Amino acid sequence: MTTDSPFEQLKHPNPNLRERAMLEIAETRDEKTIPRLMGILAEEDMVYRRAAVKALGVIGPDAVPSLVNSLLNSDNATIRASCTKALAQVAVNHRENPFPAEGIQGLKTALNDSDPVVHLSSVMALGAIGSPVLDILIETLKTTDNVAVAVAILNALGSIGDNKAAEALTELANDESADSYIKESAASALSRLEMVSQFQRGAQKE
């Protein structure tokens, strides 16, 4: 079995084999693993690229410095978007660890990226980090003039079961001076947040 085989398996059409390869790459990694996965983020093959994103997410916080570096410095929007998605995967896979401050700062900067896919996926990544970045999301919501970013932030707030998120959504849903589309989006995110909270309360009782 060559060292290439798990990396080759990342291209495999069978998702189970791809998953197994990701875990193997994360478990047997050395100093070349993260740079090699980062190199795949420029690939045209979407399956291969997504598998590399997921593998970086499995590796976790150790991958964050390389991801932030490419997110802020690459001139390739596909690579930058892949970095935001990998950072979201780190947040989801490693909830037991505080998300690295460097990663939060990188995503905050990327909210102003010129590419819409990058700035929207940055919002989603911050949403995946959740409560620790609520202030960044709420502050951006108040200052951005990009409606798509604002709506993405509202949706992210709606999935973070947190009182502070609820307060921000309530304030916006009742703000007569706000754009009507933003107000409607805030109201629907608020009702979704209430459903999430009820579900969490129900789960805690069981």
Given this chain, do its domains 1-129 and 132-206 carry the same CATH topology? yes
Domain 1-129 classification at class level: mainly alpha
Provide the residue ranges of all domains of the chain, joining segments of one domain with +. Answer: 1-129, 132-206
Q: What pLDDT, on a 0 to 100 scale, did the predictor assign at position 1?
A: 42
Q: Within the chain, which residues score under 70 in pLDDT?
A: 1-4, 200, 203-206
Q: What pLDDT, on a 0 to 100 scale, did the predictor assign at position 196?
A: 73
d(CA 105, CA 72): 10
Q: What pLDDT, on a 0 to 100 scale, did the predictor assign at position 3?
A: 53
Q: What pLDDT, on a 0 to 100 scale, did the predictor assign at position 206?
A: 61
Task: Please say whether the beta carbons of 119 and 110 come within 8 A.
Answer: yes
Task: Please say whether the beta carbons of 79 and 70 come within 8 A.
Answer: yes
Domain 132-206 classification at class level: mainly alpha
Transcribe 111-171 into DSSP letters: TT-SSHHHHHHHHHHHHHH-GGGHHHHHHHHHH---HHHHHHHHHHHHHS--HHHHHHHHH
Which amino acid type is present at position 183?
Answer: K
Q: What pLDDT, on a 0 to 100 scale, did the predictor assign at position 102?
A: 98
With 0-12 / 13-18 / 19 or more C-beta atoms within 10 angstroms meaning exposed / middle / buried, residue 2 is exposed
How does pLDDT run across 3-44, given as a tens digit for each residue?
Answer: 558 999 999 999 999 999 999 999 999 999 999 999 999 999
Whether the predicted model's global pTM rises above the 0.85 cut? yes
